[in-house]
Structure 1
Amino acid sequence: IACIGSFFLLVYLIMAIIGSPLSVAKCVFVCFQSCHATKPDMLNVHLVPHTHDDVGWLKTVDQYYYGDRNNIQHAGVQYILDSVVDQLLKNPDRRFIYVETAFFYRWWKQQSSSMQQTVKQLVDEGRLEFVNGGWCMSDEATTHYSAVIDQMTLGLRFLNETFGVCGRPRVAWHIDPFGHAREHASMFAQMGFDGFFFGRVDYQDRARRMKDKEQELLWRASSSLTPPMADLFTGILPNGYNPPDGFCWDQLCDDAPIRDDPDLEDYNVDDVVTRFLKAANTQALAYKTNHIIMTMGSDFQYENANLWYKNLDKLILYVNANQSSGSKVNLLYSTPSCYLQELHRANLTWPLKEDDFFPYADAAHDFWTGYFTSRPALKRYERISNSNLQTCNQLEVLGGPASRKGPFGAGDSQTLSKAMAVAQHHDAVSGTEKQHVANDYAKRLAEGWQHCQVLVSNSLASLRGSSAEIIYCDNLNISVCPLTEASKKFSVGVYNPLAHPVTWPVRLPVNGTAYGVTDATGKPVFPVSRSTQDVRRNRGFARNELVFQVQAPPLGFSTYFTFFFLHCDKFSSKNKTISLLQYLQVTFDPDTGLLSGLSNLETKQTIKLTQNFYWYNSSRGNNAESKQPSGAYIFRPNSSTPLVVSKTAKSSVVQEVRQRFSPWVSQVVRLYADSKALELEWTVGPVPINDWQGKEVITRLDTSIKTSQLFYTDSNGREVLQRRKDFRPTWELKQTEPIAGNYYPINSRAFLKDDEDQLTVVTDRSQGGSSLQNGSLEIMLHRRLLFDDYRGVDEALNEASEIFPDGLVVRGRLFLTLDHPASAADTHRPLAQQVVLQPLLTFTDGDLSPETQLEFSGLQAALPSAVHLLTLSQWDKDSVLLRLEHQFQSDESQVNSRPVTVNLQKLFSTLDVLGVSELNLSANQWKDEMKRFEWSPQKGTVHT
Structure 2
Amino acid sequence: MNIHIIPHTHDDLGVETIKTLIQNGQLEIIGGGWVQPDEAATHYIDLVDQYTLGLRLLNNSFGSCARPKTAWQIDPFGHSREHANLMAMMGYDSLWFAREHYLEHEMRRSNRALQMMWHVSDDNQTTILTGAFYAHYNMPGGFNFDIMGNDDPIQDNPNLENYNLDEKLSTFVNDLITYNKSMLHNHIMILMGDDFTYQDANMWFTNLDKLIKHLNQNYSNILTASYSTPTCYAQAIKSISTIQWPQKYTDFFPYASGTDSLWTGYFTSKPTMKGLVRKSSALLQLIRQLQSLALTSWDVQQGAQVEALERAIALSQHHDGITGTSKQFVTQDYMMRMLQGWTSGEQVLNSAMQTISQRVKKNVVQFPQQIICRNVNESECAFTKNNNVYTVTVHNGNSQTLNALVKVPLYQATKNVAVTDYQGNPINVEISTVFTNYAGLQQALPSNIHLLTLKQVDSSNILLRLEHIYQSMEDPTLSQPVSINLASLFSYDIVQIQELSLAANNVSSVLAGTTITLNHMDIKTYLLNVNVGNQGCTCSGSWYQSSINPCDCYNFVQTPTDWTSANNDCRKQNPRASLSSVDSAFENNELLSLLQSKTSCSQAFIGMTQQTSNVWSWINNDTSPYRNWRTGYPSGNNQCSQLNTNDGKWTNIDCTTQGCYVCEIKN
Which of 236, 261, 272 is equivalent to 1:342? 236
Contact 2:295 2:456 in 1 (8 A): no
Q: Deviations over 1:88-141 (max 9, x none)?
A: xxxxxxxxxxxxxxxxxxx53xxxxxxx2x532310222111101001000011
SS of corresponding position for 2:384: helix
Partner of residue 114, structure 2: 215
SS of corresponding position for 1:496: coil
Give, in angstroms, the shift of residue 156 of structure 1.
0.6
Give, in angstroms, the shift of residue 464 of structure 1.
1.0
Q: Deviations over 1:474-517 (max 9, x none)?
A: 22436423333444433221222221122352222232234314
Cα distance in 2, alignment partners of residues 471 and 298 from structure 1: 45
Question: Which stretch of structure 1 is more off in the superposition, 123-132 or 145-154?
Answer: 123-132
Give, in angstroms, the shift of residue 927 of structure 1.
2.6
Contact 1:375 1:431 in 2 (8 A): yes
Give, in angstroms, the shift of residue 194 of structure 1.
0.6
Contact 1:405 1:458 in 2 (8 A): no
Which of 874, 879, 884 is equivalent to 2:456? 874
Contact 2:118 2:127 in 1 (8 A): yes
2:419 is equivalent to residue 516 of structure 1: yes
Cα distance in 2, alignment partners of residues 476 and 487 from structure 1: 19
Which structure has more relative contact order (CA 8 Å, sep 6+)? It is: 1
2:365 is equivalent to residue 495 of structure 1: no
Cα distance in 2, alignment partners of residues 212 and 889 from structure 1: 33
Cα distance in 2, alignment partners of residues 520 and 375 from structure 1: 46
Give, in angstroms, the shift of residue 520 of structure 1.
12
Cα distance in 2, alignment partners of residues 479 and 438 from structure 1: 27
SS of corresponding position for 2:487: helix
Which of 361, 366, 388 is equivalent to 2:283? 388
2:406 is equivalent to residue 505 of structure 1: yes
Q: Unaligned 5+ residue runs, structure 2? A: 359-365, 511-667
2:420 is equivalent to residue 462 of structure 1: no
2:46 is equivalent to residue 46 of structure 1: no
Higher Cα radius of gyration: 2
Amino acid at match of 2:389: K
Which of 183, 197, 202 is equivalent to 1:287? 183
Amino acid at match of 2:30: V
2:42 is equivalent to residue 143 of structure 1: yes
SS of corresponding position for 1:501: coil
Higher helix share: 2
Give the length in aligned residue pairs. 499
Contact 1:47 1:334 in 2 (8 A): yes
Partner of residue 924, structure 1: 505
Contact 1:260 1:267 in 2 (8 A): yes
Give, in angstroms, the shift of residue 411 of structure 1.
7.0
Which of 323, 343, 368 is equivalent to 1:430? 323
SS of corresponding position for 2:184: coil
2:18 is equivalent to residue 124 of structure 1: no
Contact 2:418 2:431 in 1 (8 A): no
Contact 1:147 1:386 in 2 (8 A): yes
Partner of residue 77, structure 2: 178
Higher strand share: 1
Percent of aligned positions that are identical: 38
SS of corresponding position for 1:294: strand
Give the TM-score normalised by structure 2: 0.71
Partner of residue 81, structure 1: 12
SS of corresponding position for 1:349: coil
2:223 is equivalent to residue 329 of structure 1: yes
Partner of residue 643, structure 1: none
2:311 is equivalent to residue 418 of structure 1: yes
Cα distance in 2, alignment partners of residues 333 and 281 from structure 1: 19
Cα distance in 2, alignment partners of residues 561 and 44 from structure 1: 74
1:649-660 matches, cutoff 5 A: none
Q: Aligned pair in 2 of structure 1 residues 256, 411: CA closer, same or farther (>3 Å)? A: closer
Partner of residue 561, structure 1: 431
Amino acid at match of 1:458: S
Q: Aligned pair in 2 of structure 1 residues 519, 498: CA closer, same or farther (>3 Å)? A: farther
Amino acid at match of 1:331: A
Contact 2:273 2:335 in 1 (8 A): yes
Give, in angstroms, the shift of residue 305 of structure 1.
1.0
Q: Unaligned 5+ residue runs, structure 1? A: 1-42, 54-79, 83-106, 109-115, 525-546, 549-559, 563-846, 930-944
Contact 1:411 1:452 in 2 (8 A): no
2:332 is equivalent to residue 439 of structure 1: yes
2:479 is equivalent to residue 897 of structure 1: yes
Cα distance in 2, alignment partners of residues 395 and 250 from structure 1: 51
Q: Deviations over 1:629-679 (max 9, x none)?
A: xxxxxxxxxxxxxxxxxxxxxxxxxxxxxxxxxxxxxxxxxxxxxxxxxxx
Q: Deviations over 1:863-914 (max 9, x none)?
A: 00000000111223321111000011222233322211111111112x2211
Give, in angstroms, the shift of residue 283 of structure 1.
0.3
Q: Deviations over 1:207-239 (max 9, x none)?
A: 111111110001111224x61xx3111011122
SS of corresponding position for 1:927: strand
2:295 is equivalent to residue 400 of structure 1: yes
Cα distance in 2, alignment partners of residues 130 and 150 from structure 1: 19
Give, in angstroms, the shift of residue 261 of structure 1.
1.7
Q: Aligned pair in 2 of structure 1 residues 878, 471: CA closer, same or farther (>3 Å)? A: same
Amino acid at match of 1:81: D
Cα distance in 2, alignment partners of residues 81 and 144 from structure 1: 28
2:469 is equivalent to residue 887 of structure 1: yes
Please provide the CA RMSD for this pair: 2.3
Give the TM-score normalised by structure 1: 0.51
Question: Which stretch of structure 1 is more off in the superposition, 437-446 or 465-474?
Answer: 465-474
Amino acid at match of 1:369: T
Partner of residue 361, structure 1: 256
Question: Which stretch of structure 1 is more off in the superposition, 884-893 or 512-521?
Answer: 512-521
Q: Aligned pair in 2 of structure 1 residues 46, 405: CA closer, same or farther (>3 Å)? A: closer
Cα distance in 2, alignment partners of residues 207 and 410 from structure 1: 49
Cα distance in 1, alignment partners of residues 129 and 136 from structure 2: 18
Partner of residue 521, structure 2: none
Cα distance in 2, alignment partners of residues 173 and 517 from structure 1: 57
Contact 1:905 1:913 in 2 (8 A): yes
Q: Aligned pair in 2 of structure 1 residues 249, 492: CA closer, same or farther (>3 Å)? A: same
Give, in angstroms, the shift of residue 401 of structure 1.
2.9
Q: Aligned pair in 2 of structure 1 residues 489, 127: CA closer, same or farther (>3 Å)? A: same
1:925-944 matches, cutoff 5 A: 925-927=506-508
Cα distance in 2, alignment partners of residues 207 and 519 from structure 1: 68
Q: Aligned pair in 2 of structure 1 residues 267, 493: CA closer, same or farther (>3 Å)? A: same
Q: Deviations over 1:920-941 (max 9, x none)?
A: 1111122359xxxxxxxxxxxx
Give, in angstroms, the shift of residue 166 of structure 1.
1.1
1:108-257 matches, cutoff 5 A: 108=15, 116=16, 118-224=17-123, 227=125, 230-257=126-153
Cα distance in 2, alignment partners of residues 523 and 219 from structure 1: 59
Which of 315, 323, 330 is equivalent to 2:211? 315
